[in-house]
Structure 1
Amino acid sequence: MTVLPRLDSAAAMKLFFRCLGALALSLASVLATPANAPRVEMDQRHKVLFNDYCISCHGPKKQKGKFRVDQLDFGITTLENAERWQKILNELNAGEMPPEEAEQPPNAMKTDFLEELSQKMVAARRSLADRHGEITLRRLNRREYGNTLRALLGVDVDVTELPGDTGTGGYDTAGSNLFMSGNQFEQYLEIGHEALDEAFEWQAAASVQQKIHVEAEDTLKVIQQKYAERLDALERATRWAKAVDDAAARPENAAIVAELRKGAKNEAFFRRQWAKIPGAPAPEDYGFKTVENNADKANGALSYATKVGSGYMRPYQEAYLKMPHLDTGAYLTIQGNEVLTNENLTLSVPYSWKPIAGDYIFRVRVAATDQAPPERRFIEFGIHPRAGRVTSTHQVTGTMDHPQIIEIPVTLTRRNADDRVLFIREKGSNDDYLQARAKFGAGHAKNGIGPDFAIWVDWMELERIPNSRSGQAPALAVLGIPQDDHAKPSIAEVRAAVERFCVQAFRGVTPPQSYLDRLAGIYQMRLKAGDKHSEALKQTLAVILASPQFLYLAEPVQDDHRRPLTGPELATRLSYFLWGAPPDAALQALAEKGELLHPDVLAAQTDRLLNDPRSRGFTRPFVHQWLGLDRLDFFEFNRELHPRFDNSTKLAARQEVFETFEYLIRSGSSFRDLLKCDYVVVNPVLADYYGLPKVTSDAFQKVALPKDSPRGGLLGMAAVLAMGGNGERTSPVERGAWILRKLVDDPPPPAPANVPQIARLAGKVLTTRERLKAHQEEAQCASCHRKIDPFGLGMENFDAVGQWRTEDTYQVKDEHGKPVKGASKTWVIDASATLHKGPSFQNYFELRDIIASRSDNFARGFSKALIEYALGRSIGFRDEALADDMIARAKKNDLSIREFIHALVASNEFHSK
Structure 2
Amino acid sequence: MREFLSKHCYDCHANGAKKGGLDLEKLSTEMTDRPLVANWTRIFDRVSQGQMPPATEPKPAAKDTASFLAAIEPRLKAADKRLRETVHRRLNREGYQNTVRDLLGIDTELKHLLPEDQQAGGFDNNGEALAISAELMGQYLRAAEAAIDAAIVHGDRPKTVTFTVDPMNEIKKDIPRFFGLDDGRSVIYTTDKGNYSKIATREKRTPVAGRYRFRFPVATHASAEPIVFNARVSDFDGLAATNIDLGYFEAEAKPKTVEIEAVVGARSAIQFFVLDLPTWLNDVSSGKFPGVGFGPVEITGPLYAQWPPESHKRLLGDVDLKTGKLEDAEPILRRFIARAFRQPAAEEEVARYLSLVKGRLAAGRSFEASLRSGLAAVLCSPNFLFLRENISEAKTRISDYELASRLSYFLWSSMPDAELLECARQGTLHEPAVLRAQVERMLKDPRRDRFVSDFTGQWLRLRQIDATTPDPKVYTEFDDFLKFSMIEESQGFFRTLLEEDLSIRNFLDSDFAMLNRRLAKHYGVEGVRGVKVHKVPLPKDCVRGGVLTQAAVLKVTANGTTTSPVLRGVWVLENFLGQVVPPPPPNVGSIEPDTRGATTVREQLAKHRTAASCNVCHQHIDPPGFALESFDPTGGFRKQYLRYYVEPKNADKGWGKVITAGNVDPSGQLATGEKFADVREFKRLLLQNEDRFAHCLTEKLMTFALGRELGFSDRDYVDGVLKSSAANGRGLRTLVHAIVESPAFVAP
Partner secondary structure for residue 347 of structure 1: coil
Partners of 1:84 and 1:856 in 2: CA distance:
23
Structure 1 position 549 matched with structure 2 position 383: yes
Partner secondary structure for residue 629 of structure 2: coil
Partner secondary structure for residue 115 of structure 2: coil
What are the within-5 Å matches in structure 2 for residues 579-594 of structure 1? 579-594=412-427
Structure 1 position 157 matched with structure 2 position 157: no
Return closer, same or farther for 1:147/1:822 CA change in 2, 3 Å cut-off: closer
Partners of 1:40 and 1:901 in 2: CA distance:
43
Partners of 2:385 and 2:623 in 1: CA distance:
47
What are the within-5 Å matches in structure 2 for residues 822-837 of structure 1? 826-837=661-672
Contact 1:146-1:157 at 8 Å conserved across structures? yes
In the other structure, the counterpart of 1:494 is: 329
Cα deviation, residue 129, structure 1: 7.0
Return closer, same or farther for 1:573/1:373 CA change in 2, 3 Å cut-off: same
Cα deviation, residue 859, structure 1: 0.9
Contact 2:152-2:311 at 8 Å conserved across structures? no
Contact 1:682-1:702 at 8 Å conserved across structures? yes
In the other structure, the counterpart of 2:230 is: 379
Structure 1 position 219 matched with structure 2 position 170: yes
Partner secondary structure for residue 637 of structure 1: coil
Structure 1 position 877 matched with structure 2 position 712: yes
Structure 1 position 862 matched with structure 2 position 720: no
Aligned partner letter, 1:368 = T
Partner secondary structure for residue 719 of structure 1: helix
Cα deviation, residue 643, structure 1: 2.3
Partner secondary structure for residue 595 of structure 1: coil
Q: 2:26 aligns with which of 72, 78, 81?
A: 72
Partners of 1:852 and 1:802 in 2: CA distance:
22
In the other structure, the counterpart of 2:266 is: 418
Aligned partner letter, 2:210 = A
Partners of 1:734 and 1:76 in 2: CA distance:
36
What are the within-5 Å matches in structure 2 for residues 148-547 of structure 1? 148-155=99-106, 156-168=108-120, 170-201=122-153, 209-221=160-172, 225=173, 227=174, 319-320=177-178, 323-325=180-182, 328-331=185-188, 333-335=190-192, 343-348=197-202, 350=204, 354-358=207-211, 360-371=212-223, 377-384=228-235, 387=241, 389=243, 391-399=245-253, 402-412=254-264, 417-418=265-266, 420-427=268-275, 440=279, 452-464=289-301, 466-468=303-305, 473=310, 476-477=313-314, 479-485=316-322, 488-513=323-348, 515-527=349-361, 531-547=365-381
Return closer, same or farther for 1:186/1:126 CA change in 2, 3 Å cut-off: farther
Contact 1:395-1:684 at 8 Å conserved across structures? no
Return closer, same or farther for 1:70/1:356 CA change in 2, 3 Å cut-off: closer
Cα deviation, residue 601, structure 1: 0.8
1:131-189 Cα offsets, whole Å, 9 max, x none, are 66654222222211111111111113322332332255532221112232222222222
Contact 1:133-1:878 at 8 Å conserved across structures? no
In the other structure, the counterpart of 1:47 is: 10
Partners of 1:81 and 1:504 in 2: CA distance:
41
What are the within-5 Å matches in structure 2 for residues 688-727 of structure 1? 688-693=521-526, 695-727=528-560
Aligned partner letter, 1:408 = I
Partner secondary structure for residue 827 of structure 1: strand
Partners of 1:542 and 1:760 in 2: CA distance:
53
Partners of 2:162 and 2:358 in 1: CA distance:
41
Aligned partner letter, 2:11 = V
Aligned partner letter, 1:536 = S
Partners of 1:887 and 1:880 in 2: CA distance:
10
Contact 2:400-2:430 at 8 Å conserved across structures? yes
Partner secondary structure for residue 247 of structure 2: strand
In the other structure, the counterpart of 2:65 is: none
What are the within-5 Å matches in structure 2 for residues 600-639 of structure 1? 600-639=433-472
Gaps of 5+ in 1: 1-37, 59-66, 90-106, 113-119, 229-317, 430-438
Contact 1:148-1:581 at 8 Å conserved across structures? yes
Partner secondary structure for residue 680 of structure 1: strand
In the other structure, the counterpart of 2:88 is: 137
Instruction: Tell me which moved more, 464-473 or 148-157.
Output: 464-473
Partner secondary structure for residue 563 of structure 1: coil
Contact 1:372-1:453 at 8 Å conserved across structures? no
Contact 1:766-1:810 at 8 Å conserved across structures? no
Contact 2:222-2:290 at 8 Å conserved across structures? no
TM-score, L = length of structure 1: 0.70
What are the within-5 Å matches in structure 2 for residues 633-782 of structure 1? 633-693=466-526, 695-757=528-590, 765-782=598-615
In the other structure, the counterpart of 1:899 is: 734
Partner secondary structure for residue 345 of structure 1: coil
Contact 2:640-2:660 at 8 Å conserved across structures? no
Instruction: Tell me which moved more, 817-826 or 758-767.
Output: 817-826
Aligned partner letter, 2:731 = S
In the other structure, the counterpart of 1:64 is: none
Cα deviation, residue 198, structure 1: 0.7
Partners of 1:563 and 1:852 in 2: CA distance:
38
Cα deviation, residue 862, structure 1: 0.8
Partner secondary structure for residue 379 of structure 1: strand
Contact 1:813-1:820 at 8 Å conserved across structures? yes
Partners of 2:221 and 2:335 in 1: CA distance:
59
Partners of 1:617 and 1:490 in 2: CA distance:
40
Contact 2:225-2:252 at 8 Å conserved across structures? no
Return closer, same or farther for 1:844/1:682 CA change in 2, 3 Å cut-off: same
Contact 2:208-2:302 at 8 Å conserved across structures? no
Return closer, same or farther for 1:191/1:653 CA change in 2, 3 Å cut-off: same
Cα deviation, residue 860, structure 1: 0.5
Decide which structure has the larger Cα Rg and report it. Answer: 1
Partner secondary structure for residue 421 of structure 2: helix
Pairwise CA RMSD of aligned residues? 4.3
Contact 1:688-1:694 at 8 Å conserved across structures? no
Contact 1:362-1:463 at 8 Å conserved across structures? yes
1:660-719 Cα offsets, whole Å, 9 max, x none, are 111111112111111111111233432343343455544332122222322221022110
Which structure carries more relative contact order (alpha carbon 8 Å, separation 6+)?
Answer: 1
In the other structure, the counterpart of 2:64 is: none
Partners of 2:527 and 2:318 in 1: CA distance:
55
Gaps of 5+ in 2: 44-53, 60-68
Contact 1:144-1:581 at 8 Å conserved across structures? yes
Cα deviation, residue 602, structure 1: 0.7
Aligned partner letter, 1:158 = L
Return closer, same or farther for 1:501/1:885 CA change in 2, 3 Å cut-off: same
Partners of 2:123 and 2:3 in 1: CA distance:
25
Contact 2:505-2:690 at 8 Å conserved across structures? yes
1:780-824 Cα offsets, whole Å, 9 max, x none, are 332222222122212222111111122224568899999899998
What are the within-5 Å matches in structure 2 for residues 794-833 of structure 1? 794-809=627-642, 826-833=661-668
TM-score, L = length of structure 2: 0.84
Contact 1:596-1:602 at 8 Å conserved across structures? yes
In the other structure, the counterpart of 2:405 is: 572
Contact 1:166-1:172 at 8 Å conserved across structures? yes
Percent of pairs with identical residues: 27
Return closer, same or farther for 1:745/1:518 CA change in 2, 3 Å cut-off: closer
Cα deviation, residue 390, structure 1: 5.3
Cα deviation, residue 41, structure 1: 9.3
Partner secondary structure for residue 706 of structure 1: coil
